[in-house]
Structure 1
């Protein structure tokens, strides 16, 4: 096509576009940041809930930006209005905020954004894309394609019959050389069209680039005349993100490796526009074990694919982010062991230490990390987190916590603050069960299977009755245990484990059996935090009531 025709076609297609790419360069200047600063972005589409893989990419993008003295912004890629769901944008921003991902720039909520490089919603940037599209047409690097769906389908069938790759390329790009007169006539008659890239690539040649995660990557060049603008004038992902990443001055793009095969297209577009490409880093997906094989977490099949699942379960945001950093860099777990009190942000994340194969989702490991995170919190922190969770997911628990916060915090304080703090709580949804026996008005039921075999029902009655006579709430820990030892000796049980082990036949059982009986009678459970601490929190009236109302074993 003659250059003169290209210029005329560009004016015909975009008569209202008066700005040039140079004008946009002035409007969106280079950022005033250090030379090693990363400018990253998270750019989801509002087509459903935030996927755990999306949170993973956002966390990595944010961490890399902050550790380099750069910034990470949130862009919403909402050009596909047919797939957009109501509340999709606010759902994304709220889910990210729930997990501590807060952006200083970009979209902050539905209809809200901040920053000098916006708009940050692609649906509001149509004129910007048209500036670059017009320039490509003017230079003969893009053209209007008038093919109908039925024509494209017919071409695809002929390609298959000839065992050719399907798609619009070379001789199969039917409208790439239409003269201005025919383009003008078709547009005047109202024919719908898209705008396509005029690719000069060859599938037989290769493009090589350095991926931030995978290292040196070699792929076939793109030879397809891909769609840049759809028939409604809105851009495709390929075109829009190239324009946006340049004007928003993105230096590093962190995205799923499902986009790796598209990298030649995107690098070709940057070259066609005369722009410097960012460093692409393609991260592996989070996988799930499914029988003998592994697969990607599915939005349809797996509840844990949605980040809202972890919020509803009550996992602390910090625990999920700790787990994800471990997935991101294999060095993180060693670093955490060596720096147990350091802020997560102090860890230096390195792209080249990310695994190139998918990490396996491990619920057990998440729970273990979460227990450790919660164990490091004081009672006040736990109370605050649980209350926030309960107000949304467990109104009964929320009422109980707010009714007597001093008692609730005392319960949650048991076993905290020590080097070997207890790890009973993995998520906030564990708390109702964890606290339940502290609130039971009636004496708790006791499972017969939990009662030591050495204690008969008759001995249990005598032991409990004897302890009622010895119990003093103001006794210190040593005095309290001495009373249990005394009780044991009075009823034929060894007061010291070493004596029982030396002569087991001389005793019915030992002081541990008697302690367990008291634990079961007071709490209904065989496993609890330290019994002395439990009784101190419960108070003498509740403890005595349960001792006196001991139920038969069930």
Structure 2
């Protein structure tokens, strides 16, 4: 029997299936030409990072625009780093921002799709079948090097400034015989299985990254580990097998993996598999002290996607912001198409930043304001109550106790050609609505400084007499203007400006006093609409309180 075959049988006694068997179990997908199949493949090691959300967003967007498939694969071969409910945290993080998977893991135990298992720890036999095939071809071997031997090699390579790793003269067990391997295994010696790389130091490879363009790098010469001592695969090998069998067309990941592409391409070729296209995303950057740095899990609270749920950025606004980071032409498209569904934008890998998009909280808030101002009052109500149920119990109770009243508040100046942009996230809502609720309003009046208390009392006493809640929005301000003229105020600011000595002020000052008496604030949305929502009884009550406050 061929010695390679003997070695394979020695190492993998229990593996009976071959790569051909798995080819039949996981056939090519029946999708239209050009459909993108990609995955989000995190380890269940903690919270979902904003960079991970961005990568998942790019994957989902690319598949959506091509009628492809976006799936969630969990790379859980490093059990030491796992956290409890790590998969559920990832799934929740995606769901919170509307990134729905077509296939893959739904929780720690549930999954959907015909190309699973979607958890690497459950695919051990599949990986071993492919490694067994490589051993049979003389392309992989068992390596019994101890940690001490590896440390000695590293020291020598460091001192002589050599490429680190196992290769060439450092690959001690590259040509181990079946007999020696069997003896060591029977002796209980631990081993890994390494690739027998055919790479040459003087050879280079070229590949086209769909974001970065053409990249040229040295060919891989390292005998990388394929299977660890416990028989689980390394990331390098597992992703090759998984991406092939799950019929992935595009691997979307951070550009820290570019240095590993020569290894990955070599593994695809040696396994006789067609490599997917690679799309390496530059890290999200943040400005600091005049420079730029990567968004940091340790330094930046906004690095965790849970932050955005807690603050209350709507998922639609997050999508808008992520698309501004993803494609440089999106903002112009949105300006030209303010009411179009984001799905109608044609996403392109080629329009992605090669250097790394800049994260900007101010811009996110601005994007979110623009998004929220286009929502209907009903949509705002539903989203705010959903958020407040988990994050602001007091506000939640007020909103659900009188749904129609709350919707009337959110309807103020909504649907106009130029709607107001007071809300950037749902945390802003309590302050925005506070003067509509006695439980929230501090009952402080921020009256203007340019009028005396007596003048303001005069305005309010007179307005109390003429206030008519049934007057139309068109007639409301003329009524205030007429009243203002009767007590010595100019009917318009420009009239006052021409002859300030002839007037106490102008109609804007009068309306300002009414505004503060009704809301406590100098700046609010449309005053007529506010008075309508509050109702006459409450308005009169507030005017009386304001007058009492002015009298001291």
TM-score class, shorter-chain normalisation, is: over 0.9
- Report the CA distance between 1:443 and its aligned residue: 7.8
**1:343-362 alignment runs, 5 A limit:** 343-362=341-360
In structure 1, what is the equivalent of residue 539 of structure 2? 543
- Report the CA distance between 1:161 and its aligned residue: 2.1
Contact 1:142 1:195 in 2 (8 A): yes
In structure 2, what is the equivalent of residue 418 of structure 1? 416
In structure 2, what is the equivalent of residue 552 of structure 1? 549
Distance 1:445 1:129 in 2: 69
Does 2:514 match 1:518? yes
CA deviation string 1:284-335 (max 9, x = no partner): 1111112122111111111111111111110010111111111111111111
Q: Match for 1:163 among 161, 164, 175? A: 161
> Kindly tell me: are residues 164 and 498 of structure 1, through their superposed partners in 2, closer, same or farther at Cα, counting changes over 3 Å?
closer
**1:247-326 alignment runs, 5 A limit:** 247-326=245-324
Distance 1:119 1:146 in 2: 31
Distance 1:66 1:474 in 2: 51
Does 2:165 match 1:174? no
Contact 1:444 1:522 in 2 (8 A): no
Give the TM-score, by structure 2 length. Answer: 0.97
In structure 2, what is the equivalent of residue 486 of structure 1? 482
CA deviation string 1:75-96 (max 9, x = no partner): 1111111101101100111110
- Report the CA distance between 1:70 and its aligned residue: 1.5
In structure 1, what is the equivalent of residue 400 of structure 2? 402
Give the TM-score, by structure 1 length. Answer: 0.97
Distance 1:123 1:308 in 2: 27
CA deviation string 1:117-138 (max 9, x = no partner): 1000001000000000101111
Distance 1:324 1:316 in 2: 12
Distance 2:491 2:442 in 1: 27
In structure 2, what is the equivalent of residue 51 of structure 1? 49
- Report the CA distance between 1:440 and its aligned residue: 2.2
Distance 2:161 2:302 in 1: 42
Range with greater deviation from structure 2 (433-442 or 514-523): 433-442
Distance 1:178 1:264 in 2: 26
> Kindly tell me: are residues 25 and 527 of structure 1, through their superposed partners in 2, closer, same or farther at Cα, counting changes over 3 Å?
same
**1:330-341 alignment runs, 5 A limit:** 330-341=328-339
Distance 1:534 1:199 in 2: 74
Does 2:144 match 1:146? yes
In structure 1, what is the equivalent of residue 525 of structure 2? 529
Q: How many residues align?
A: 549
Secondary structure in 2 aligned to 1:549? helix
Distance 1:530 1:333 in 2: 29
Q: Match for 2:83 among 81, 85, 101? A: 85
CA deviation string 1:372-402 (max 9, x = no partner): 1111111111000000000010011110111
Contact 1:46 1:85 in 2 (8 A): yes
Distance 2:524 2:135 in 1: 73
Range with greater deviation from structure 2 (402-411 or 105-114): 105-114
Secondary structure in 1 aligned to 2:481? helix
Secondary structure in 2 aligned to 1:82? helix
Secondary structure in 2 aligned to 1:419? coil
Distance 1:167 1:244 in 2: 25
Distance 1:214 1:203 in 2: 24
Range with greater deviation from structure 2 (289-298 or 255-264): 289-298
Q: Match for 2:462 among 466, 471, 476? A: 466
**1:36-47 alignment runs, 5 A limit:** 36-47=34-45
